[in-house]
Amino acid sequence: MFNFFQNFKNTARTLVGNLVNTAETEEELSDFVLDEMEDMLISADLGVNYAAELIDTLRNQTRIKPEAVKEFLKEEFLKTLQSAGSNELRYSDGLNIYFITGVNGAGKTTLIGKLAYKFKNEGRKVLVAAGDTFRAAAEEQLDIWSKRAGADIVRRDGADSASVVYEAIQKAKKENYDVILVDTAGRLQNKYNLMEELSKIKTVIDKNAPEALRESILVLDANTGQNGLQQAKVFADAVKLTSAALTKLDGSAKGAVILAIAKEMKLPVKLIGTGEKIEDLQEFNAEKFINALFDCKDG
Ligand SMILES: Nc1nc2c(ncn2[C@@H]2O[C@H](COP(=O)(O)OP(=O)(O)O)[C@@H](O)[C@H]2O)c(=O)[nH]1
Ligand SMILES: [Mg+2]
């Protein structure tokens, strides 16, 4: 069973525990210690700029005591998460469209399976749109997930992805679906074509379901850290992202990426993937996350 505290234990150790220990064994925050702390933040995948900003703030507060570092970080991290917006996955009484993007292997199709299952359990009528039409295997995989979840699927193998989404919207309106989950391709090898394809899907939704609630979710693999984040920036322009989902957090020490996403991309993380099974999905909560990081006994 997933446990917030257990899952972020490794992150708590690398991001907070080591840093606070390093600070607290010193009489004062010397440049040497501050540099060491900066390196630790960077290797925890917080991002070079954000790490430098935090350490500069500490450096400039000449009277700050080493024992105040923990509280300082806690406040800064919470502020960063809150300024990126609410972590709550939005849902309305009308049609809800979740537009799922991200590079190959990030966990998009798996996330759709998990979301379909979650919404079905909540009694919703769920339709999945197989918008990754590049590989037949991708549609097959989505088909398996949607059957597992008990959701319906619109699948037109090899067809233009925007037309699959168009068809899904027509069906959803005619048959009163609550939720459409849109799967997409993620092959960055042909970045230009991919971005064209995604913005075409966006236009189809804009035109045919302007009244629908829309979440455009960027899916990121926690283990790709800062690299993944750099790659993902191309999606922000094409689809107007509203939130992020961080996958493969099970056993990973890379929870700091959540802070980097909030800081660098101004996106709230709303969902976290914690395994390969259909129920391995959690809604992210900023306060719980911060508490797990800072109140972890052996952290
Ligand atoms: N451990 C773990 N594996 C995951 C998670 N989410 C996805 N995966 C795995 O990551 C791989 C790629 O997932 P997939 O959904 O096909 O990625 P896509 O290419 O973005 O659609 C698969 O082997 C999944 O089982 C997760 O939260 N935890
Ligand atoms: Mg996929």
For 266-288, give the DSSP string: ---EEEEE-SSSTT-EEE--HHH
In this structure, are 28 and 167 located in the same domain?
Answer: no
**Is 186 a pocket residue for ligand 1 (Cβ < 6 Å)?**
yes
Residue nearest to atom 7 of ligand 1 (CA): 107
Can you give the CATH number for the domain in which 72 is found? Answer: 1.20.120
Q: Which ligand is nearest to the CA of 111?
A: 1
Q: Given this model, what pLDDT does residue 298 score?
A: 47
**60 alpha carbon – ligand 2 mean position (Å):** 47
Cα–ligand 1 centroid distance for 93 (angstroms): 30
- Please give the pLDDT value at position 61: 84
Q: Is the CB of 275 under 6 A from ligand 1?
A: yes
In a domain, 142, yes or no: yes
Query: Is residue 155 domain-shared with residue 211, that is, in the same domain?
Result: yes
The amino acid at residue 65 is: K
The answer to the question of residue 292 being in a domain is: no
Ligand 2: centre distance to CA 197 (Å): 15
| 27 and 157 part of one domain | no
Q: What is the pLDDT of residue 291?
A: 93
The finding on whether 6 has its CB within 6 A of some atom of ligand 1 is no
Residue whose CA is at the smallest distance from ligand 1 atom 13? 107
Please work out whether the CB of residue 102 comes within 6 Å of at least one atom of ligand 1: yes
- Three-class secondary structure of residue 88 per DSSP: coil
Query: For residue 272, which ligand has an atom nearest its CA?
Result: 1
18 and 43 belong to one structural domain? yes
Q: Measured in Å, how far apart are the chain's first and last C-alpha atoms? A: 21
Which of 57, 83, 109 is the endpoint of a domain? 83
Question: Are residues 31 and 59 part of one domain?
Answer: yes
Query: 114 with 20, same domain?
Result: no
Q: Using CB atoms within 10 A of its CB, is residue 154 exposed (0-12), middle (13-18) or buried (19+)?
A: buried
Task: Calculate the dihedral angle through the C-alpha atoms of 60, 66, 68, 73, rounding to the nearest 10 degrees.
Answer: 70
Same-domain status, 253 and 113: yes
Number of domains in the chain: 2
Question: Cβ(256)–Cβ(220) under 8 Å?
Answer: no
DSSP state of 127: E
CA atoms within 13 A of residue 72's CA, in its CB half-sphere: 19
Task: Return the structure tokens found at 241.
Answer: 């992202």
Instruction: Look at the block and give the residue holding tokens 């469209």.
Output: 97
CATH number at residue 137: 3.40.50.300
Q: Count Cα atoms within 13 angstroms, Cβ side, for 65.
A: 2
Find the 99 Cα to ligand 2 centroid distance in Å. Answer: 13
The pLDDT of residue 299 is 41
Domain contains 271: yes
19 CA from centroid of ligand 1 (Å): 31
What DSSP element (H or E) covers 220?
strand 213-221
Burial classification of residue 291, based on how many CB atoms lie within 10 Å of its CB (0-12 exposed, 13-18 middle, 19 or more buried): middle
248 close to ligand 1 (CB < 6 Angstrom) = yes
Q: Same structural domain for residues 144 and 208?
A: yes
Q: Quick one: 120 and 235 in the same domain?
A: yes
Q: Which atom of ligand 1 is nearest to the CA of 247?
A: 27
Give the end of a domain, one of 53, 83, 113: 83
The ligand with the least distance to the CA atom of 246 is 1
Shared domain for 28 and 173, answered yes or no, is no
Element (H, E) at 69: helix 69-83
Q: Are residues 144 and 50 in the same domain?
A: no
**Cβ(273) to ligand 1 under 6 A?**
yes
Burial of 179 (0-12, 13-18, 19+ CB in 10 A): buried
Residue 156 lies in a domain: yes
In which domain, by residue range, is 182 found? 96-283
- Identify which of 227, 134, 159, 149 has the alpha carbon closest to the alpha carbon of residue 181: 149
- Over residues 28-44, the pLDDT tens digits come to 889 999 999 999 999 99
C-beta 114 within 6 A of ligand 1: no
Query: Which residues, in sequence order, are bridge partners of residue 182?
Result: 99, 129
* Residue to probe by mutation, ligand 1, list 221, 224, 276, 277, most atoms within 8 Å of CB: 276
Question: How many residues belong to the chain?
Answer: 299
* CB neighbourhood size of 94 (10 A): 10
pTM score, two decimals?
Answer: 0.95
Q: Quick check: is 91 in a domain?
A: no
The reply to whether 291 falls in a domain is no
Nearest-angstrom CA–CA distance, 161 and 130: 8
Cα distance between residue 222 and residue 278, in whole Å: 18
Q: Is the CB of 247 under 6 A from ligand 1?
A: yes
3-class secondary structure, 196: helix
Report how far Cα 126 is from the mean position of its chain's Cα atoms.
21
Examine residue 298 and state whether it is found in any structural domain, yes or no. no
pLDDT of residue 1: 53
- Indicate if 198 and 275 belong to the same structural domain: yes
* Residue-by-residue pLDDT tens, the chain, 299 positions: 567 777 888 889 889 999 999 999 988 889 999 999 999 999 999 999 999 999 999 998 877 888 999 999 999 999 999 999 999 999 999 999 999 999 999 999 999 999 999 999 999 999 999 999 988 899 999 999 999 999 999 999 888 999 999 999 999 999 999 999 999 999 888 889 999 999 999 999 999 999 999 999 999 999 998 888 988 888 998 899 999 999 999 878 889 999 999 999 999 999 999 999 999 999 999 999 999 999 865 44
- pLDDT of 115: 98
Residue 105 lies in a domain: yes
Which of 52, 83, 114 is at the close of a domain? 83
